[in-house]
Amino acid sequence: MQPPEFPAFVRGLPEVDLPVDGLRGWLLRGESGALLFLEAEEDVYMPLHSHCDQWGFVVDGSIELTIGDDTRTYTRGDSYVIPAGTMHGGQIHAGFRAVDFFTDPNRYQPRG
């Protein structure tokens, strides 16, 4: 069963330009950070990388995420914190939906 989509008012936000195929997102940006509504319709590998502080909340599905030296699977209702500069990456599974906050408001740009 396919999880329900984000509501139309979320999907009405600017779609974000993401560096990974198979992952879609919508961007809400403020002065102190950026909020992304993310979803994957297929399995997606996210290579190791680092950036500003990030907090995420899994709405549906699962992600196997390595943060520093710790690898864990996060599922619906779980949240994660990635401190600035910490290497992280992992496997996003089809059906994944999450809300992620980044402390850098310019971390992502709208798709142009």
Give pLDDT tens digits for 62-75: 999 999 999 999 99
pLDDT, one tens digit per residue, over 75-89 is 999 999 999 999 999
CA distance 81 to 83: 6
8 A C-beta contact, residue 75 and residue 18: no
**Distance in angstroms (rounded) separating the CA atoms of residues 38 and 97:** 5
pLDDT tens digits along 20-60 = 999 999 999 999 999 999 999 999 999 999 999 999 999 99
CA distance 54 to 83: 7
Complete domains list, the chain, with CATH:
36-106 (2.60.120.10)
